[in-house]
A = this chain, B = another copy of it.
Amino acid sequence: MFNKRIKIKALLAAENTGVDATVMGWVRTFRNNQFIALNDGSTNHNLQVVASLGEFDDTILKRLTTGACIKVTGQVIASLGKGQKVELKASTIEILGDSDAEKFPLQPKKHSLEFLREIAHMRFRTNTFGAIFRIRHSLAFAVHQFFNDRGFVYLHTPIITASDAEGAGEMFRVTTLPMDGSAPKNEDGSINYKDDFFGRSTNLTVSGQLEGELAAMAFSDIYTFGPTFRAENSNTTRHLAEFWMIEPEVAFNDLEDNMDLAEAFIKYVIQYAMEQNKEDLEFLAQRLEEEEKQKPLTERSEMGLLDKLNFVVNNDFERLTYTEAIEILKESNYNKKKKFQYLIEGWGVDLQSEHERYLVEKHFKKPVILTNYPKDIKSFYMRLNEDGKTVAAMDILAPGIGEIVGGSQREERLDKLTARMAEMHIPAEELNWYLDTRRFGSCPHAGFGLGFERLVQFVTGMGNIRDVIPFPRFPKSAEF
């Protein structure tokens, strides 16, 4: 057995001076030919390893470059330096893997996020991305913990799907047919997919919701957590072609139950990360604070990262209808003074993200749940309200992020659902399996989707969604 090390996080936490220890990790810096800052990824903090002057060969010392991997044995001693209570006095240092200082792309200085995105395979070794992906891990674990504690069944919905009826956007084709035009064709010249792998045209899923509803009609409470895809040519800081979604679906929940569940869920996972990743969050908060200082006073955000998270955890989300929101926006000085790019003139239009941000960041100054949108701007499966013109939809808007959750109570009445599908030209025969849930033991139910990367952005304060997923996929980019 090679791996008899103690992790640096455990060593620093134990503060157990006098004992011998073996650590392994990567050199972050080597100062004064004596002090090694060593990191093994278990924590944002480095362990200070002391290679006392004169005790180690120059041949070893020369190889202690940034990025090198080493194994150190020694004694844990009290540290006289600032920032740590203990350090490791090295008795042996073994180089496991060299790192040519001239060629290693990460230097002990601050790199731009743009540069680090180019070397996504190396950015894990920086303080910033170490913190982000440890927080991402905690949030993912908290998702499972939250739903498991409440008796939900985790459902793996299919990634490859023949259904494109939801109309959530452009899809990626999945195929094993040749691309050069030699694929079999129908009489009208269109491709005949009978010879494709699945015997039909298939795409990457945009949502597991419809399949999730099938399972909720048996297990009552289910959730999905898996990758979803959009083939939209969006080169923005808010969009990815491949991202992870969490989609709970609950039989017997109405819209209010759905809001309660979503609010409790968001608070739980944020709280969990705040407890588990205190040091990582403090590091990111400080990083953001420094960024803010570069901005003109009027553009600085009023709250630091930790304040913002505490605020969300400790306050009720503001709940109002779309109709109420439209009134507020129409009456606002922002609208009257034409500060919005899209002025709110009447009921029925979709909100732009400038409107959502106004409500969240200026008007209410807290997360907002908007409900009961006009049916014409929402999906076919949302439950028609008694007014005949709105549906039981809900969007949760978060400060700095905008929409983080989209959900609804579902239309459980077969006649109303098929009527709506006909209106929207959605072919019922392709969704027969979905309609079966309304034919056999239908019931009120509701659910929502949360974009996991948006959540990670919110908790880490990162401005670009490409920085919160290990290997981002966007137009013209699929390296690694």
Write out, one digit per residue, whether chain A residues 30-47 have a CB within 8 A of any chain B CB (1) or not (0).
Answer: 000000000011100000
Count this chain's copies in the assembly: 2
Whether B439 pairs with A100 at a CB distance below 8 angstroms is: yes
A307 contacts which chain B residues (CB < 8 A)?
none
A122's contact among B244, B440, B476, B480, by CB below 8 Å, is which? B440
Whether A153 contacts B125 in the complex (CB less than 8 A), given A160-B473, A181-B180, comes out as no
A181 contacts which chain B residues (CB < 8 A)?
180-182
- Indicate whether A458 reaches chain B with its CB closer than 8 angstroms: no
Whether A433 contacts B244 in the complex (CB less than 8 A), given A24-B251, A156-B227, A174-B204, comes out as no
Whether A478 contacts B200 in the complex (CB less than 8 A), given A9-B151, A172-B176, A179-B183, comes out as yes
A480's contact among B174, B252, B433, B478, by CB below 8 Å, is which? B433
- Indicate whether A111 reaches chain B with its CB closer than 8 angstroms: no
Whether A2 contacts B252 in the complex (CB less than 8 A), given A180-B185, A471-B157, comes out as yes
- Indicate whether A218 reaches chain B with its CB closer than 8 angstroms: yes
Alpha-carbon distance between A170 and B174 when the two chains are bound, in angstroms: 13
A250 contacts which chain B residues (CB < 8 A)?
3
Whether A197 contacts B25 in the complex (CB less than 8 A), given A124-B215, A257-B1, comes out as no
Whether A125 contacts B217 in the complex (CB less than 8 A), given A199-B477, A473-B158, comes out as yes
A: residues with CB less than 8 A from B are 1-3, 5, 7, 9, 24-27, 40-42, 67-69, 71, 96-100, 103-104, 121-122, 124-125, 130, 133-134, 136-137, 140-141, 144, 148, 151, 153-163, 170, 172-177, 179-183, 185, 189-191, 197-200, 202, 204, 211, 214-215, 217-221, 226-227, 229, 231, 233, 241-242, 244, 250-254, 256-257, 260, 412, 433-434, 436-444, 469-471, 473, 475-480
